[in-house]
Amino acid sequence: MAPSLPQFSAARMRSYIFRLPLFTRSIIAVIILLWVVGIQSAWNVRKWGALIPDEIGLGTMYRTNTFPLVHNGFLHAFMNILALTPLLERFEAEYGTLTTLALFVGPLSTIPALMYTFIERGVLHMNNRVLGASIWVFTLLAMEAVKTYRSNPHFLLGTTQVPTWITPFVLALFVTFLIPNTSFLGHMCGLAFGYGWGLGYLKFLAPPEWILRWIEGKLNLLGRLPHYVSVDQKTYGRFGVLPTTNVSNNGFNSVIFLAIVLVQRYSIYRRLGLYNRIGLPLSSSSLLRRDPRLLKVPPYLSFLCIVIGVAWLLVLPLDNYSRKTYISENALLPGQVHTYFAGSDQNVFGGYKREVDALEEKGNIEVNDKLEEFFKASGLKVARQKYEYKSAGETYSGENIYAILHAPRGDATEAIVLVGAWRNVDGVLNRSGVALVLTLARYFKRWSLWSKDIIFLVTPDSRAGPQAWVDAYHDTHQSPAIESLPLKSGALQGAVVIDYPFDHRFESIHIVYDGINGQLPNLDLLNTVVSIASGQMGIGASLQQMWLHSDSYKERLQTMLRGMLNQGLGHASGPHSSFIPYHVDAITLQPYGDGWQDEMAMGRVIESTFRSLNNLLEHLHQSFFFYLLMQANRFVSIGTYLPSAMLVAVNFTIMAIFLWVKSGSPANPATRVAAEREKSPKLAIISEGDAKAIVPEELLGVRERQLFMPLAVVAGSQFLGVLPLYLFNHTSEYMLSSVFYIFTVVNSVFPAIVSIAIVRYFKPTNQQYQLIKAFSLLLLGMFLSSLATLNFSLAFLVGLFSAPLTYVQSFPDRPIITTLLVLLLSLLAPTTVLLAGTNYWKLSVTEVLKEAAFGWDVWGMNTQVVVWCVWWPAWLVGMILLFGKPREETKEELKVAI
């Protein structure tokens, strides 16, 4: 049976830390000490120790040695320590403590620092300061890359051979693009020194060995200093080069000698159960992928991806990772015009509001008759549209009414929409909102400055009506349930929705911007409204129901997470959401609070916004469509936040590839009988260029994989996701709750039933279970990485809930562990998460499922597809693996194909 997946071992980690050599421990201690000292404000440690090109002189040369030891903050120091420790430990074990001390205190820090200073100050005429141990990390990586290149010159990327020595350079590019405020030039200087050392051009900088031995002997350093690495304790010789033998065509004796050594070492390792620990200076991917040390890395790397992905998200609200908003489209000119909506228009507004109050209890048709009179009295063309939707056994019907103001200076090729739903998303009469739409229609008609048509739309509700109108405007509606529009204008450039249900004065404006399926309007539209409201009108602006925002880290994070939750749910948050899928930038404005701002102030905000949109020469496109807002004037763009979801998604792909390689690896020799382990291995000759070597055949082979059953299980689980997707989108409202609870009960026992059936009829081996998990995680990683570019929040949330699936495996002999893991996965099931969410927000299951069905039928919401066809199948496979009982593999199944 193949070995189980490596688990995190605190004992091994503790042992590794306690075995760190002396200089490595000292460097870590100094970095931590300087970070702690840097917390106080009396002495600026960063300013004292950073490498600042313009300040380098004879009196400040110490900066060329101190800059790798000081860091910007805890996360900066922690990540550099995490990357530096294994590389520095390996370097010190190879060269000794004295050599490492001399190099890192001297040329290994000073030369890259002087290179950076010369290029930055002398060539580029700039003065960017650098600090942090990442320059050491890239120097050591370059040294390791040269060593790797000598033994393994290429790795395959598809069918292309990529030189292994370029990997540190590629990593430097990734770090520059993905992590803000990193110095690409500084990293290049470190790489230059590392490559020079690795190629042997700079090794003359190392102190002579006879001096090291003399110092060690005189001072008795090995006896006095714990964890000291002396010259005689180094593992790879003076400069890490083992004696080699050149093999030529007539070098038969060398080949025989090498074969004898390999066979002897191979036999010893097999007796000890340490399979395939022979290292060869040859380029062989077959040998590399079976190195047991390499096969232990992916689980830890996968866990590290999850941790870094979550940590990445948590640091986004910090000033170093977020930016202040700005207007990218210069033509908008927000707040640059004088607004005239005041005076007698307030009396007009009061009259319209009394008319709206009188129509509160009237029917939709009677209300539209009165509204049509008001629009025609203002000199506008008026039209109506009837619609009817059916969802969850209910019918949603009504009649939209809209009026078009044709631009005196336009040609009817572009239009802006002002929407006032009769009832808002909470079902409350939008009395002041509709009255303001009517007043602005009358007010805008008097002006001759408009270059774009203006459409005034009043819908009976905020859910079905706007969607029906937008669909019909773009001719994507379903006739005859939804009527076509008798009147149209040009391409819609933007839309503003007024949600103003009360009649008292307000304090600030709440901006709602979330669209269907996580889509967002162009950031310039939000920035324009915020600039006009706060800058021109003196009205505060808030987001995500964060009424009192003090701009602290906690409130920034809370605002961002609320936005992520709304984006992840993918539902419509207002009438504006129906416009965004058609690339019409739209927002909803909601006055809130008790203050001194009145309806005239709200009207002036809308007037100034429409004047800015009227200036546009083309559709909004220069600013961001993918962003996370953490305050009205602070945001994070996709290039900064996307890596967090990608890291969570890539952890599944890493484990899938790891399991695929593991499933084809020869079985663990510890599971074989002693007589078989004692047999001499069959040998094979491998060659590359002029070099040849004799190795055991088993090292070059791959076990045959049994693919049918794993593919069938994973494919079946994916297709089963269609069942709940169809069930919850086509069930009547009064049955939704019962159907959901029945499905929840069945869902809790179904994985065990499927697992028992698989064990009984297919008798899967451990290899097949590995392949089941590999295919499932591969699909999950592929789906989430693709989804992250469309709906970042949904991909991140699903990836986080699915993270435990990475480490799920069967424990047939450990029922307690299996039970605990089953309980954990049951708590993370989609059904359980749905129940927990409804209880937390005090909603009913019927209400949530009804909203989801409405979104599926009316808005085209696809959140259900991700939940039931991506998340749930992966969870189902994870539960099947937990209940699995792998059988022992036969000798035929253990055979290795060469």
| Phi, psi angle pair for 635, to nearest 5° | -150, 170
Give how far Cα 677 sits from Cα of 278, 567, 669, 681, 697, Å: 17, 58, 7, 9, 14
For 686, the 3-state DSSP assignment is strand
Helices (H) and strands (E) in the chain, counts: 36, 17
Which amino acid, one-letter code, is at 496? V
Neighbours of 802 (CB within 10 A): 25
Q: How far is CA 17 from the centre of its chain?
A: 31
CA-CA distance, 803 to 647, in Å (whole number)? 11
- Residue 616 near residue 491, CB atoms below 8 Å: no
Tokens in use for 845? 């299951």
For 638, the 3-state DSSP assignment is helix
Helix, strand, coil percent values for the chain (each to nearest 5): 55, 10, 30
Q: What are residue 495's DSSP bridge partners? A: 417, 586
CA proximity to 128, closest of 139, 136, 116, 138: 116
Which amino acid, one-letter code, is at 223? G
Neighbours of 441 (CB within 10 A): 24
- Residue 187 near residue 138, CB atoms below 8 Å: yes
DSSP string computed for 763-799 = --BHHHHHHHHHHHHHHHHHHHHHHHTT-HHHHHHHH
CA-CA distance, 320 to 639, in Å (whole number)? 14
- Residue 825 near residue 809, CB atoms below 8 Å: no
Which is the catalytic residue, given 134, 322, 508, 802? Answer: 134
CA-CA distance, 230 to 221, in Å (whole number)? 8
Residue with tokens 């959401």: 577
Tokens in use for 33? 């000490």
3-state secondary structure 349-364: HHHHHHHHHHCCCCCH
Residue 570 backbone class (left: φ over 0; alpha: ψ -120 to 50; beta: rest): left
Sign of the dihedral defined by the CA atoms of residues 173, 177, 182, 185, in that order: positive
| Phi, psi angle pair for 888, to nearest 5° | -70, 140
How do strand 586-597 and strand 491-498 relate by DSSP bridges?
A: parallel
Helix (H) / strand (E) element for 897: namely strand 896-897
CA-CA distance, 881 to 773, in Å (whole number)? 8
Q: What angle do CA 814, 653, 191 make, to 5 degrees?
A: 120
3-state secondary structure 580-621: HHHCCCEEEEEEEEEEEECHHHHHHHHHHHHHHHHCCCCCCC
Residue with tokens 């992966």: 874
CA-CA distance, 455 to 451, in Å (whole number)? 13
Tally of CA atoms within 13 A in the half-sphere of 893 that contains its CB: 15
CA-CA distance, 695 to 747, in Å (whole number)? 51
- Residue 698 near residue 263, CB atoms below 8 Å: no
Helix (H) / strand (E) element for 509: namely strand 506-512
Active-site residue 134, yes or no?
A: yes
Active-site residue 619, yes or no?
A: no
Tokens in use for 520? 């967002």
Which is the catalytic residue, given 71, 76, 187, 549? Answer: 187
Residue with tokens 């706060």: 534
| Catalytic residue set | 134, 187
